[in-house]
Chain A
């Protein structure tokens, strides 16, 4: 019912069936989570090999270094194979998974010509992107 909205005869783009939307959505989420987990695991192994013998310092809050706080910094730290940077890249992929889901929903609503919900989904997307990218 949800995505089988009114669609004029002869329209060039047919709306996806609800079942199809849900199948794609499920696959998208699964791919995102497994990719993120694989990256975190790879970074984690590297981290433990290099830093496993050190003393953990998480009892007092100091905040992460600048390079591990924003998208550009994380990408360059991961590119230079820094263990913490790779883990943080996995975290970033994880954060992007729900965002990708919302982007996909925008398209699904658009194909169903459900423009009210295209706007609703775009508002959610805007809030998410604002959160991730503001004050870089």
Chain B
């Protein structure tokens, strides 16, 4: 297989990954690394570099659409980005010294966790009232969001330090594995800080690009970003996710989410097994 044939194959795979990632809201990055390493035998470090760059592309593209819907909380996003970018710098530094087997094991576990989160039903709470949190008030984090019935409802933000800590962890995983780690970002805002689910998901998407940019600088300087590999993957994932986002509104993606979760779980298991066997 020469460079041209490999590039065409990679564009096709990335198109599909970006398409499914956008349609299910799970992101395409999580699939790119296992497919590159398991099916194409690409070195883990090159795979992580290419994946991370594609994550910046899709999140910036998606954020452009989401930020106009009025759900994104820009103050929370900016404040928590201190946590995610510091975490991402740490994660990228860790990736440089960690053996690839260890990376594969952590990757496998992260995929399994992501698949598990996906099988749980998402219920949108409606109780965002109560007494305001002192720190959140001081930082003026509370906001409003458009509820399902069209009215504008206020919400109070809680447990800011815990949210910040979980965001730091999301940043470490993003920098270590070259993924967006959107699932953990949503977890931090939805569960820890008690934000409305829609605010959590859109603010998370908004933050992914900045988080990934922090570790991309480190990857670039360490020579992890191979242009020949990054090119088909960035273009494929970007085109796929734009197409996926376009038809997102027209489809009921519940079944698709579950299928994708199974795919993630299988890839996670395979990564885990390979990592434990030392075959990466």
Question: Hey, which bits of chain A sit against chain B, CB under 8 A?
Answer: 1-3, 21-23, 25-27, 29-30, 32-33, 36-37, 40-41, 43-44, 47-48, 51-56, 58-65, 68-70, 83-85, 87-88, 90-92, 94-99, 101-102, 105, 116-117, 120-121, 123-124, 127-128, 130-135
> Closest CB of chain A to B173's CB: distance in Å?
17
Q: Are A55 and B2 in contact (CB under 8 A)?
A: yes
Expressed in whole angstroms, the Cα–Cα distance for A63 and B224 within the complex equals 6
- Known: A88-B225, A116-B140; 12 extra A-B contacts, CB below 8 A, are A26-B68, A29-B60, A43-B231, A44-B235, A56-B228, A69-B223, A91-B234, A97-B213, A98-B210, A102-B78, A120-B78, A121-B78
Known contacts A1-B144, A47-B228, A52-B3: does B81 contact A69 (CB below 8 Å)?
no
- Chain B residues lying within 8 Å of A59, measured Cβ to Cβ, are 41-43
> Closest CB of chain A to B51's CB: distance in Å?
13
Restricting to B50-96, which residues have a CB under 8 Å from any CB of A? 53, 56-57, 60-61, 63-65, 67-68, 70, 72-75, 78-79, 81-82, 85-86, 88-89, 92
- Chain B residues lying within 8 Å of A56, measured Cβ to Cβ, are 1-3, 6, 228
- Chain B residues lying within 8 Å of A124, measured Cβ to Cβ, are 78, 81-82, 85, 210
Q: Are B227 and A58 in contact (CB under 8 A)?
A: no
20 A-B residue pairings within 8 Å (CB atoms): A22-B67, A22-B70, A25-B64, A26-B63, A30-B64, A40-B231, A52-B4, A60-B43, A61-B45, A69-B220, A70-B220, A91-B220, A95-B220, A98-B60, A98-B209, A99-B213, A101-B60, A120-B78, A128-B210, A131-B85
Q: Are A68 and B216 in contact (CB under 8 A)?
A: no
Q: Could you say which of A58, A128, A135 contacts B229, with CB atoms under 8 Å apart?
A: A58
Q: Are A64 and B223 in contact (CB under 8 A)?
A: yes
Chain A CB within 8 A of B200 CB: no
Expressed in whole angstroms, the Cα–Cα distance for A64 and B64 within the complex equals 32
- Chain B residues lying within 8 Å of A63, measured Cβ to Cβ, are 222-224
- Chain B residues lying within 8 Å of A26, measured Cβ to Cβ, are 63-65, 67-68
Expressed in whole angstroms, the Cα–Cα distance for A69 and B226 within the complex equals 10
Q: Are A123 and B209 in contact (CB under 8 A)?
A: no
Q: Are A123 and B82 in contact (CB under 8 A)?
A: yes
Q: Are A44 and B231 in contact (CB under 8 A)?
A: yes
Q: Could you say which of B2, B79, B231 contacts A47, with CB atoms under 8 Å apart?
A: B231
Q: How many of B's residues come within 8 Å of A, CB to CB?
A: 66
The prevalent SS among residues of B at the interface is helix
- Chain A residues lying within 8 Å of B65, measured Cβ to Cβ, are 26
> Closest CB of chain B to A126's CB: distance in Å?
9
Chain A CB within 8 A of B232 CB: yes
Q: Are A48 and B7 in contact (CB under 8 A)?
A: yes
> Closest CB of chain B to A113's CB: distance in Å?
12
Chain A CB within 8 A of B214 CB: yes
Q: Are A127 and B82 in contact (CB under 8 A)?
A: yes
Q: Are A94 and B234 in contact (CB under 8 A)?
A: yes
Q: Looking across the interface, which residue of chain B has its beta carbon closest to that of A41?
A: B235
- Chain B residues lying within 8 Å of A88, measured Cβ to Cβ, are 220, 225, 227
- Chain A residues lying within 8 Å of B64, measured Cβ to Cβ, are 25-27, 29-30, 33
Restricting to B4-48, which residues have a CB under 8 Å from any CB of A? 4, 6-7, 40-46
Q: Are A44 and B232 in contact (CB under 8 A)?
A: yes
> Closest CB of chain A to B204's CB: distance in Å?
14
Q: Are B42 and A58 in contact (CB under 8 A)?
A: yes
Q: Looking across the interface, which residue of chain B has its beta carbon closest to that of A83?
A: B227
- Chain B residues lying within 8 Å of A36, measured Cβ to Cβ, are 57, 234
Known contacts A59-B43, A61-B45, A69-B221: does B227 contact A1 (CB below 8 Å)?
no
